[in-house]
Amino acid sequence: MDPASLCIAASRLIRPSACSGATLIPIHRAAEPRAFAALLAGNIALAFGPWLVRLSDVGPSAAGFWRLALALPFLLVLAWAMGQPARWPGRSAAIITAIAAFFFAADLAAWHAGIHLTKLGNATLFGNIASFAFAGWGLWLARSWPGRWQAAALALAAIGTALLLAGSAELSERYLRGDLLALAAGLLYAGYLIAVQRLRGTIAPLPVLILATAFGAAMLLPFALATGERVLPSDWTPLLLLALGSQVIGQGCLVFALGQVSPLVVGLTLLTQPAISALIGWLAYREAMTPLDFLGAAAIAAALVLVRLRDAPSAPRSLVP
């Protein structure tokens, strides 16, 4: 999704969202109009993903399988057009890719299951927890303390998560289980990001995405069959739209945009996802938000912006003396 690393950048904002090694854009730089339009369009397309999962008449893991399998031919054509055809990467890279695909497949299975149990807005917000988990991993790897913005983002994310969980617990145990599944999905997606980061510089971004998509689909199908889920749909429309919207159009727009806009713009535009998902949930299912939901969502929304800001350069503050 961005010039330095398509897959990692795609995963930062897509859930469906952290990119290490990407080209750094000044925070106050004005975004290219076309890049901003693509960024906004990509986030809007991704925001409809949870609704399409609910509309599909297959199980959660089966929906994840079709999301990946139906998108694969389009990704192959895109890779060919961009001069990045998928090839076998060698044994060690293939093992890392398979590990990444396992986390991706587990993420989709957990997230889709959570979507059926909790509010669409909550599922989208918790799915983006990967941004904070991946940032925490980077800090641990660097053996350094977070900067001001990072510390504020992590604190707000923790507060917002607690408020949203408390709000769901007040409604029912079902909503709480859905929140926890979506939260687990966000953490699993961070595992996917960490594994994909190991491949940076060894395989071109699109082939990594294609291989992870293929491996993930191969893992989700047997799991869906083993758990007794319905796999074949009676209506292919929601699944086809899910594959095109989440895996092709959403990621394609973000690929085009992310290297050309500032982190602040990326963070602010990301907020359209939970906002649109919550609106869809209210219109389609009358999913009203409680005061705790509003407070928790606002805290996480602010954190999603802050985590993309960079502190002024200073001496690194190591965790070790």
The proportion of the chain whose per-residue pLDDT surpasses 70, expressed as a percent, equals 78
- Asked if 186 and 68 touch (Cβ cutoff 8 Å), the reply is no
pTM of the model: 0.78
- Asked if 133 and 305 touch (Cβ cutoff 8 Å), the reply is no
C-alpha–C-alpha distance, residues 43 and 48, integer Å: 9
- In 3D space, the residue among 267, 293, 296, 270 whose CA is nearest the CA of residue 282 turns out to be 293
Q: Give the tens place of pLDDT for each residue, 43-70.
A: 899 889 999 999 999 999 999 999 999 9
Least confident range from 104-113, 138-147, 179-188, 299-308: namely: 138-147
- Asked if 196 and 8 touch (Cβ cutoff 8 Å), the reply is yes
DSSP string computed for 280-291: HHHHHH--PPPH
The proportion of the chain whose per-residue pLDDT surpasses 90, expressed as a percent, equals 29
Mean per-residue pLDDT for 69-97? 88
Expressed in angstroms, the distance from the first to the final Cα of the chain is: 37
193 pLDDT band, cuts 50/70/90, is confident
Measured CA angle at 144 (ends 142, 149), to 5 deg? 110
Domain range annotation of the chain: 6-12+27-306
- What contacts 99, CB < 8 A, 6 or more positions away? 195
Helix (H) / strand (E) element for 6: namely helix 6-13
Q: What is the DSSP letter of 29?
A: P
- What contacts 286, CB < 8 A, 6 or more positions away? none
C-alpha–C-alpha distance, residues 157 and 168, integer Å: 16
Q: Which residue has the higher pLDDT, 313 or 203?
A: 203
The count of residues in the chain is 321
Q: Is the pLDDT of residue 319 over 50?
A: no
pLDDT of amino acid 3: 32
Rg (CA), the chain: 19
Q: Is the pLDDT of residue 126 over 90?
A: no
pLDDT of amino acid 66: 97
- Asked if 69 and 274 touch (Cβ cutoff 8 Å), the reply is no
- What contacts 118, CB < 8 A, 6 or more positions away? 168, 174, 175, 176, 177, 178, 179, 181, 182
Q: Is the pLDDT of residue 232 over 90?
A: yes
C-alpha–C-alpha distance, residues 226 and 247, integer Å: 25
- In 3D space, the residue among 74, 90, 91 whose CA is nearest the CA of residue 82 turns out to be 74
Mean per-residue pLDDT for 7-17? 41
Q: Give the tens place of pLDDT for each residue, 282-309.
A: 889 988 877 887 888 788 778 777 766 6
